[in-house]
Structures are given as C-alpha cells and as structure tokens.
Structure 1
Amino acid sequence: MNAPSDLSMKSDDVLRYELVVFRAEHSDLDAAIRALQEVGTSDQLTIRRLKKKKLALKDRIANIEDRLTPDIIA
C-alpha cells in the first residue's frame, strides 16, 4: 500500500491487480475482526484500528472500481 494513490497515473491492469489485493486484505481484516470479537477478551482499541483500516480499504476499492467502470450515459 505504499504505491502512489493517484489512480489516473495507473494502467487498468495495475488497478485490477490492486483491486484483487485490496479485496483479499479487506476480507482478511474482516475475519480478524470477527475472530477478535468472538474471543471476548480482545482489545477494543485494536478492533477499532482494524475497522478503520478496513473502511479505508473499502474506500480505495470503491475508487478503483469507479475508475475501471466506464461512464455510460443512459
């Protein structure tokens, strides 16, 4: 995630690859959050940080999907 975030400079192939990576990471974070919540003795600060990171990934995924989806005027 240290790559430049300017989507206009990246090719569609790079964006598709990033989309796959970010979706996998988002899924992994979701599983980690669920596991921590099920334990019950988990640190709420850690869960909050993971949720914030998951939300940021969701936003990046949405931005990439918007970039890859052509604008169609109906």
Structure 2
Amino acid sequence: MDPDEIGPRLELLRQEHRDLDAAIEALRERAVADQLQLQRLKKRKLQLKDEIAVLEDAMIPDIIA
C-alpha cells in the first residue's frame, strides 16, 4: 500500500472500530440482546484491530542495525 494512503485508511478503520464499540454497547443494553449479532460485531471489531495494527506497523520504517 502506498504510504500516502495509509494515514487516511487508518483513520477510516479507527472510526469504524469506534462505531462498532458504540453498536456493541447499544446491543448489550437491550433487554433481549441478539447474541449472534453481538458475536458478529465483536468479530468484525477484532478484524479491524488486526488491520489497524498491520497498517501502523507499515508506517514505522525498518531500522537496519
């Protein structure tokens, strides 16, 4: 991925991650929470976290010792 594209992509992923936090919390507060939907949201949130970590690592230059 082009280094100029990493920053905007990271921000987009971080926003989606925050949105999922809010959606998960709202679903938990329901009297009858949909466990399958909750599981799907949590899985997507973990996928986003992994993708964010990969992009953050790509932004750090390799240091040759």
TM-score above 0.5: yes
CA RMSD across the alignment: 1.3
Distance in 2, matches of 1:12 and 1:25, equals 21
* 1:1-40 deviations in Å (ceiling 9; x for gaps): xxxxxxxxx2111111110000000000010000100113
Shift of 1:43: 0.4
TM-score normalised by length of structure 2:
0.91
In 2 relative to 1, CA 73–38 (structure 1 residues): closer, same or farther, beyond 3 Å?
farther
Among all aligned residue pairs of Structure 1 and Structure 2, give the percentage whose two residues are the same amino acid: 54
TM-score normalised by length of structure 1:
0.80
Shift of 1:69: 1.2
Structure 1 runs (4+) deviating above 6 angstroms are none
Q: Does 1:42 align with 2:37?
A: no
Secondary structure in structure 2 of the residue aligned to 1:48 = helix
Distance in 2, matches of 1:71 and 1:31, equals 35
Gaps of 5+ in 2: none
